[in-house]
Structure 1
Amino acid sequence: MRRPRPIAPGPGQESVWDYPRPPRLERTDERIEIVLGGTSIATTSDGWRVLETSHPPTYYLPSSAFAPGVLRPTFGSSHCEWKGAASYFDLAAAEDGPVLAERAAWTYPDPTPAFADLAGAVSVMPAAVEAAYVDGERVRPQEGGFYGGWITDRVVGPFKGVPGSWGW
């Protein structure tokens, strides 16, 4: 498949096609919030973004940003060629009864040296929760269900994950 034509970024925007490969980790002081079951289950202004060519940023929060009892270790693992072995969490919240988002979050307990700052930090699949916000803007999930990118008005694509984008 031919490489897609990048959308030109406007003022205050970034093109995901200007992100590096291999990906880069950067600190962010943007306010990140996760909502599940009508409840804010995590919030921080002390996170990280992973930036990789053709992908919207993936945001990571310190595990301490999550309310007690929200993170529940679950089965399975996966491997990222850049970050290492990941393990998963179910997310639990309650409003008029328990709400569970299965395998909605992941962490790298022992990441590769380039991503050492992510050790124990947690990212969330935006499509698996009620809402995720960056500086008050509601995140749009990256299409495809495989990648955990967070799309905001700050970034332009096209974004990997749509049908036919596997070879990008």
Structure 2
Amino acid sequence: MNKFESFQKIAQIENRGPLVSVIIPTFNVEQQVTETLKSVMKAKQFFHNNGVYLECVVIDGNSSDNTRRIIEYFAGLNVVDKFISEPDNGIYDALNKGLKISNGEYVLVLGAGDVLITEKIELILRNLIEYKPDILYGNQVMVKRKRGRLIVKRLFISGKFLKARLKFGWHPPHGSTFIKKHG
């Protein structure tokens, strides 16, 4: 049995909703959102090829630039599954709306400009299916573009989870944290 058949066997996804809902809050981010949605498209394809459904939910704060048009384009490609564009009370309001309409067993929040690293999708999928953790997080690299080149701004190395660190304000970065939805 190859690794892809084992994913399908482990997941047993017949008549099952999405394993992961990616929630992307947006507002006037036409310069960043395309790259994010392209990375979600690659992740969705990998999940799909392995018999697992990934849902993409975009909540837009009524953008006045081309953000909505770009999202609608990706919705037409079946990358964006749910899309709301209406005035809101900021990013947390948008995230709460996204949580309410998402159906995934796990939630991942991506900001416009965040990208999923294609080479890590297989590892993420395997860990979610095999171990069913409440939280799965990993490394995150923050980069910026300068004259067409990517420059590393900050590197977050996940390390071992220590509950005591939460008391001191530590938290894993949202763009690399999959959280299990309960109830």
Question: By percentage of residues, which structure has more strand?
Answer: 1
Instruction: Verify same fold: TM over 0.5.
Output: no
The structure number with the bigger radius of gyration is 2
TM range (shorter): under 0.3
Write 1 or 2 for the structure with the bigger share of helix.
Answer: 2
What is the TM-score of this pair, normalised by structure 1?
0.27
Structure 2 length as normaliser, TM-score? 0.25
